[in-house]
Structure formats: structure tokens, C-alpha cells
A and B are shown apart, each in its own frame.
Chain A
């Protein structure tokens, strides 16, 4: 598995010239092949019909649990809630210590220190949303300060939102420069996830362009959504982004991760996404270093399914945590 990651913004080998100017970038992004929307949705739907049972299902559920970015992004988050979330991330099912830990907990920047303490001693990472999440409507200086604070507090991963307004207005270089600047603020330790908010990008073509833009700018992960708008991760837009990371690696040798977020609530959905990953990007991405689920309620359903497989009895919401 290639573990190379872009070191700094714009370092994608072979593609340096496309980010030289606004017009070159626009030419490149608009030169990407158009998306066959009907074909894309049909492909995503047909991959969703795969039957995953017994041992394969057990493997998929454990893999999915290990890929969850356990998320709480509410105005009402308290240190207590974040600590509880951290404890759950480390031991998702206290009655079965064989359950894998989740990949990370995802919180607002001011909760990073609390989260860090809650997962101390485990492999669970702390991810923080930043850059004026979820709208991304703030001056660059504020966004960068947001990122630096989160990194200083110990965040291992930063989830940034792109400036959708600039993107939709066609000011691609502004978006690009912003991602590059945020990547720089992340330093060498924190991995950067770039959120496109695909529900606001209107077209599949735009999602493809945003994916390439993000990867050119040095994203370690590309992420579908904030979970704060009506349309979040769908099989089709995730498939499209998986194609983008596959093609990007083929062209540049750099592997980028994918994170669908929002709206994935059942184990069945999660397993469908894993099928998409395996069939599109390939097994190299079937690892929580390269694929994540941004979710909160998904974990409970995965745990209930896991209990069902282990005991043969259907479990219920009484046997998992409320949050």
C-alpha cells in the first residue's frame, strides 16, 4: 500500500503546471470528462445490490466500525458529552472487548483538548472541523487561526470546508490557494480532510472538479459533506469521488483518502459503501487510513448488527448508548 502523501500544496507530480494560473486551472478542471449521471447512479445502485453475508458480513462490520469518525458537532456539545464519545470510540461495545476501536472522534476545535484526553493511550485519532465550519464564510485569516488553534490543541486531523461560493463562482484558484494555506497550517502532523459539501455543488461535474481541485491542493482526504445540509453522502457522489482518487493515484502516484459523511445510518448502507470502495478504488483503500465514515448514529447500528452476528439474537437500542 502506498503511503506517500503530498508534502505540501500543489506538489502533485506531473500536474504542477495546471495550477500555475486561474485560467490554467479552469482549463484543466473544465477539461475533465463530463459525468454520465444516469450511468453513475445506475452503477452505484447495482453495486448496492451485492449480497454480503456471514463471515464476509462480520469482516465488513468490523472494518466499518474501525472506519467510523465518531462525530458530535452540535452547539450543545459539552465536555461531558465529548468524554463519553471518546470512551465509546475506544471501546465501542464495552460488553465485547473484541470490538475494534473507531478511527477517530470528530469534534469542534474548542473540544479538541477534551477529546484528546478522552482517547489518550489508544490509537483513536482526534479530528477537528475547522475553517468556520460548516458554512466556511469567514476571512482566510480567521480560518487559518481556527486551524492553528485546533492543531495546537492536539488535533491529528483537520476537516476543512471549501469556499463553495468561490467555487460556484468559478474562482477555482481562490479555493485552491485556501486549501494550500490550510494544508500549510496543518503542518506535518495533522492530516487534512477537505469537505466539498456535495449537496451544494449542484452537479456531478462540479463534484468531479472539486475532487481534483482538492487533491491538486494537497488534501489527504476528500470528504463529501458536513452533515448539516439536506443532501449528504450518497452512493453516487461517493462513487464519483472514489473514481477521482483512483485516477489521481494512477496519474500521480499519490493516494488520497475518501470520507463520506452524513446520512449513513445503517450497517447495510455502510457495507454498500465498502463494496463501492473495493470495486472502484480497490482493496488498497479498505483501511481506515484511506477510508472513513463520518457518522454518529451509524456506530450503534453496526454494534447491534455485530451483537446479532455474535449471539444469533436481534439486539435493540436498549443495549447501545443513546448518543
Chain B
């Protein structure tokens, strides 16, 4: 943004600053509270104002996520994979913008920021491939001591509250959103508190990627303020505490116990870790295993086993 503000003097144009807004239910509202806060780069230079979400924004986001859950979890895994791949395509087209935003947000050089954005795009592709394969890896037929077919299949948990990592504003963000929605959950995401701009811009990409509104909802603001009502919310089924510090994580885990939310505790990470191969743990953390018993018929009478 600091580079941008230099430009008008050269070209004589007035600067066109971007109003960053939330992404909730497929729309781009301001915070219902009307509040904003100043976002700066690591040196303390002003970048933009971001919405300072309230607990009511969190509540509205949960309503949107719940509404979207039926269709998204019911979509075929193949379809979800296509949509996630589409996200990667759209991001590719706006690569320059994200490189700039990540560089400003995290104080990185252009080339390091570009590496982060490329890794994030590749991550969407990676998870897009997983949508129709995860069931084969963690589900399947179970041998049981009786005349039954016994099949286990993973099902999405529901609405997942996601506290995005605080440091890695974009690659970290994608690394926690993609696994949640790849398996059919819907997400309410709290962006990194000090670097929310790449997350808010990601909302614009998701809105143009055939992703149904409400599947991902992005809130910016004070993580502790928004996370508390989400952790206690009876209609949220799981919470990913990636962006919570130790004290906050403990508080949220206690609040989450009321309706037995699935809780993914903050994983110990150093800065480089988001770029490591992600594995499938973040997907399986938000899956429920459904097991079905089905009689095989009277095969036992003839002494045969199938």
C-alpha cells in the first residue's frame, strides 16, 4: 500500500483505497458493529482499515455456515474437488495482488512472498485432489464376526470454527481452511489479527470460484473477542485452535466442552512448518466415522461365507 500511495504523485491520479470487508454468507458486509481497526505492516506503517467484528458477526456467520452445510456436505466429492481446484485457478489469476498483500502484511521480500503464495495455490490443488480419495483412505469395509457387510465411511462434522494462524497470514490460512471444506464441512474463519488483509481478499476469490456462499465465512478483528462466542456456540460442531495462544486455547477448549465440540489443539509450529507437506491429519480431525451394518442374507445356512 505504501508503494501504491506513491504512485498518484507520479501519475496524477487520486489514490483508490480498498475498503476491506468481511465475507459472510457469500456477501461482503461491514461489521454490524460498524467498527474498524487499523492494520499496519510490521514496521508500523498503515496499510488499511479492517472490520473489527463483534460477537454478532460471529453469530451471523454461524447461521450462514449452517445454512450452507446441507448442500455443501451433500455435494459429490468430485464436485467439491472441482470447486477447490477452481479456487486455485482464480488465485493464480490474482497472484500479483496476493504477493503484494502478503509481502506487506508479513514484511517479506517479493520473492519470499511469491513463494508463499505459490505454495498456497498448490495447496488448494493438493486438497482438491483429496476430496474424493479421503473416504478410501480412512473408510472401508470392516471384517466382522457375523453375516454382515460392515462399512465405515467418513462424514463431515458440520460447522467448524477456524482460528487462522497469526503469523502466516496466507499460506497458514489456506492450510487450515482447505482441509476443513475439502471434506464437506463449512467454516467460520477468524483471520490473523494483525495481518487480516490477505484473508479478506481471499473472500473475493472464493466468491468467484463457484464455492456456494456460506461455505467459508471470513471474519477479521480481535481473535479472543470473536473466538469466545464461537467456542461456546451450541451450533458450532468443531473448532480449530491454530491461531490461539496457550491461554486462549485453554479457555476456548473449556468453553467448547459444553456441546462436545471436536477440538483441534494448536499444533507446535515454527515458521517454516506451514510449507511442509500437510498430511491428512487436518482433514481427519473434522470427520465423523459412520459405520453401517448390513445383513448379507442367509449365506450362513449353507455354510458358505462370502
Interface residues of chain A, those whose CB is within 8 Å of chain B, are: 307, 312-319
Contact = CB atoms under 8 A, between A and B. Distances in A.
A317 B229 contact: no
Contacts of B59: 314
Nearest to B258: A313
A313 B66 contact: no
Given A314-B229, A314-B233, 8 more contacts: A312-B232, A313-B232, A313-B258, A315-B235, A316-B62, A316-B66, A316-B234, A318-B235
A307 B236 CA distance: 16
Nearest to B55: A314
B4 to A, nearest CB: 39
Contacts of A316: 62, 66, 233-236
B258 A314 contact: no
Contact of B66 (A307, A317, A319): A317
Interface in B57-84: 59, 62, 66
Give the interface residue-count category, chain B: 10 to 19
A314 B66 CA distance: 13
Interface of B: 59, 62, 66, 229, 232-236, 258
Contacts of B229: 313-314
B241 to A, nearest CB: 18
A319 B66 CA distance: 14
Contacts of A312: 232
B234 A315 contact: yes
A314 B236 CA distance: 9
A318 B234 contact: yes
Nearest to B62: A314
A314 B258 CA distance: 11
Contacts of A319: 234
* Pairs of residues from A and B, 3 with the lowest C-beta to C-beta distance, nearest first: A316-B235, A313-B232, A314-B233
Most buried by A among B62, B66, B234: B234
Nearest to A307: B234
21 contacts: A312-B232, A313-B229, A313-B232, A313-B233, A313-B234, A313-B258, A314-B62, A314-B229, A314-B232, A314-B233, A314-B234, A314-B235, A315-B234, A315-B235, A316-B62, A316-B66, A316-B233, A316-B234, A316-B235, A317-B235, A318-B235
B84 to A, nearest CB: 27
B260 to A, nearest CB: 12
Contacts of A314: 59, 62, 229, 232-235
Contacts of B232: 312-314
A150 B234 CA distance: 42
A293 to B, nearest CB: 21
Contacts of A318: 234-235
